[in-house]
């Protein structure tokens, strides 16, 4: 076992110890097919939680997205994101002629799965903000990739914005039934439908 | 009983575990056979499944205690610390804390809990007894106040303190019992833990059975429909009786064992009632085994009686025997 693999297992173990990281598969079994998991975003811990909730053999082919300027700033951050999590880097400052989705499209052409947070930023209100258009463009370009709505529950209590030490509180990750882009569906309608699919996984609400 | 008293501690505890596992195996076989029987009555079938589920929990608990006993005080303390951690995690998940509580929660989980178990492990029982009620109870609200959020401050602080009290302070008395030394009875601590667990379990079972048969008026209907004073009394008496049966391996005389069993199991089953109240408050109806929104699987439910019984038992023993 290499050091990045061992670190990954250790992180998954810590995530499970602290949050339980229970994965509930409702309407889509854990399967080795190409997928985009799109989830609500409340904390830096979200990605680790989804990753820990996935079965071990799916983790290697499921990649997160990391902001290049932040996550390559120090050798450790770069090592963590590139070696352990195999993250896809995107630039936050957009150059004129560059498609910001290009690194994601490149990954999907490669056959890997992605985890994205279509709100674009962390929200602390409990209800996800409107989704950014990226999800729609990816769905349009890659009709064969399954889109799985994902709801992460309780994680904002584990690590609120601005804190570094997580508090042990049980969280769950619920994976829902696939959402597909209908032929001729409007961008805004699709994004709203996707958001509703995520929100519908919130239990008792 | 005289012959039993003359055995060494190892032999006595070994004998107890053999008896315990034998009884469990017997009960499990009967339960499995009954579950196999084809039955049209859905309610009875569901009840049988519930019994099987509870039995599984008892097995896990019994194996854990066996590991704790077989591997010595250090591993046992660590094991109880882990159970404490998981119980507190569940407790905090069910209460509504706010952002301002973050620091006090971190202190409760990563400072108070480890320190309490280190104190238990190092047999510093004087500091162990006051560390949480005095020092932690002063420190947690201070951290809470520094969290700069006055909304429902007293309520939030009380919840964190109370969770720490039950899940950490209460639970930590189990390994403390393990390490308590009686003059002329060295190494009997392991037995005291077992004594405690067995009397509490007996009281729970007896109370449950009595509650079903007697159909008396519930003592607190809004909290629990099954808790009645008659059933509670019978349960505690059953606990005392089991204590009496086990007296040969304890440092107690027969009467003392009966009383200790009664007091500890009475406190334990009342602890269960308190946990029921907490459940209702948090809006959770069923914990036992059924994953809720956040996956709280009901460990707290199962350890709560122990968390209430252990401190009562521990301090009664210390006070009465002056150890």
User: Domain map of chain B by residue range?
Assistant: 1-71, 72-179, 183-323
Q: What is the pLDDT of residue A204?
A: 47
Residue A205: the pLDDT is 39
**Nearest CA to CA, how far is B45 from chain A (Å)?**
27
Quick one: B66 exposed, middle or buried, by C-beta within 10 A (0-12, 13-18, 19+)? Answer: middle
Distance in angstroms (rounded) separating the CA atoms of residues A129 and A148: 18
Interface of A with B in 138-157 (CB under 8 A): 153-154, 157
Quick check: B286 contacting A, CB < 8 Å?
no
- pLDDT over 70 for what percent of chain B? 91
**Mean pLDDT for all residues in chain B:** 84
Closest Cβ opposite residue A170 in set B106, B110, B295: B295
In this prediction, does ipTM exceed 0.90?
no
Give the confidence band of A124 by pLDDT, cuts at 50, 70, 90.
low
Backbone angles phi, psi at B280, to 5 degrees: -60, -40
CA distance B216 to B220: 12
Residue among A20, A157, A168 whose CB faces B295 most closely: A20
* B95 close contact with A: CB closer than 8 A: no
Is residue B37 less than 8 Å (CB to CB) from chain A?
no
Q: How high is the pLDDT of residue B288?
A: 43
Determine the average pLDDT of the residues in B38-49: 70
Q: Inter-chain contact B99–A160, Cβ cutoff 8 Å?
A: yes
Residue B36 confidence class, pLDDT cut points 50, 70, 90: confident
With an 8 Å Cβ cutoff, are A167 and B102 in contact? yes
Tell which wins on pLDDT, B189 or B143: B143
- Pick the closest to residue B272 from B172, B173, B200 (CA basis): B200
- Predicted confidence at residue A172, as pLDDT, reads 85
The residues near B117 (Cβ < 8 Å, ≥ 6 apart) are: B77, B78, B80, B81, B84, B172, B175
- Say whether residue A4 is in contact with chain B using an 8 A CB cutoff: no
Contact status of B59 with chain A (Cβ, < 8 Å)? no
Structure confidence by residue, pLDDT tens digits, B155-187: 999 999 999 999 999 999 988 988 887 776 666
Q: Rounded mean pLDDT of A15-28?
A: 85
pTM of the model: 0.84
- Residue of A168, A171, A204 to mutate, testing the B interface (most B Cβ within 10 Å of its Cβ): A168
**Which range among A3-7, A91-95, B116-120, B285-289 has the greatest average pLDDT?**
B116-120
Place B289 in a pLDDT band, splitting at 50, 70 and 90: very low
How distant is the Cα of A194 from the closest Cα of chain B, in angstroms?
Answer: 22
Query: A154: which chain B residues are within 8 Å (Cβ-Cβ)?
Result: 93, 293-294
Contact A15, A164 (CB under 8 A): no
Percent of chain A with pLDDT over 70: 95
**What is the pLDDT at residue B211?**
81
Average pLDDT score over residue span A145-158: 88
């Amino acid at each position: 076992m290499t050091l990045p693999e061992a670190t990954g297992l250790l992180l998954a173990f810590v995530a499970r110890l602290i949050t339980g990281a229970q994965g509930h598969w409702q309407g889509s079994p854990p399967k080795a097919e190409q997928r985009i998991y799109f989830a609500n975003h409340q904390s830096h811990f979200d990605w680790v939680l989804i990753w820990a909730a996935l079965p071990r053999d799916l983790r290697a082919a499921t990649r997160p997205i990391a902001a290049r300027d932040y996550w390559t700033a120090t050798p450790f951050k770069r090592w963590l994101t590139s070696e352990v999590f195999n993250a896809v880097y995107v630039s936050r400052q957009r150059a004129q002629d560059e498609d910001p989705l290009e690194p994601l499209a490149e990954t999907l052409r490669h056959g890997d799965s992605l985890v994205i947070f279509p709100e674009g930023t962390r929200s602390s209100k409990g209800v996800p903000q409107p989704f950014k258009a990226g999800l729609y463009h990816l769905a349009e370009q890659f009709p064969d990739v399954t889109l799985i709505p994902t709801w992460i529950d309780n994680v904002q209590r584990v690590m609120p914005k601005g804190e570094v030490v997580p508090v042990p509180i049980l969280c769950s990750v619920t994976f829902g039934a696939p959402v597909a882009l209908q032929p001729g569906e409007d961008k805004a309608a699709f994004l709203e439908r996707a958001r509703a699919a995520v929100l519908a996984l919130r239990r008792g609400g | 009983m005289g012959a039993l008293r003359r055995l060494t501690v190892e032999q006595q505890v070994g004998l107890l575990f053999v008896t315990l596992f034998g009884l469990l195996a017997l009960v499990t076989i009967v339960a499995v056979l009954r579950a196999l029987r084809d039955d049209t009555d859905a309610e009875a079938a569901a009840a049988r499944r519930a019994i099987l589920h509870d039995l599984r929990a008892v097995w896990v608990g019994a194996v854990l205690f066996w590991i704790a006993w077989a591997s010595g005080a250090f591993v046992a303390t660590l094991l109880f610390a882990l159970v404490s951690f998981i119980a507190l995690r569940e407790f905090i998940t069910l209460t509504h804390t706010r952002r301002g509580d973050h620091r006090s929660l971190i202190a409760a989980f990563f400072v108070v809990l480890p320190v309490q178990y280190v104190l238990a492990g190092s047999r510093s029982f004087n500091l162990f007894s006051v560390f949480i009620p005095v020092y932690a109870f002063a420190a947690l609200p201070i951290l809470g106040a520094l969290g700069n959020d006055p909304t429902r401050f007293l309520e939030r602080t009380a919840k964190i303190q109370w969770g720490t009290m039950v899940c950490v302070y209460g639970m930590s008395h189990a390994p403390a019992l393990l390490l308590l030394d009686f003059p002329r009875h060295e190494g009997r601590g392991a037995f005291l833990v077992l004594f405690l667990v067995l009397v509490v379990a007996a009281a729970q079972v007896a109370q449950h059975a009595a509650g079903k048969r007697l159909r008396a008026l519930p003592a607190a209907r809004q909290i629990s429909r099954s808790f009645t004073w008659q059933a509670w009394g019978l349960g505690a008496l059953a606990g005392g009786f089991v204590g009496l049966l086990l007296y040969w391996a304890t440092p107690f005389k027969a009467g003392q064992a009966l009383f200790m069993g009664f007091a500890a199991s009475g406190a334990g089953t009342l602890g269960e009632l308190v946990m029921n109240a907490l459940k209702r408050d948090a809006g959770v109806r069923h914990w036992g085994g059924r994953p809720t929104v956040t996956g709280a699987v009901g460990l707290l439910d199962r350890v709560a009686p122990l968390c209430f019984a252990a401190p009562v038992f521990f301090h009664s023993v210390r006070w009465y025997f002056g150890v």
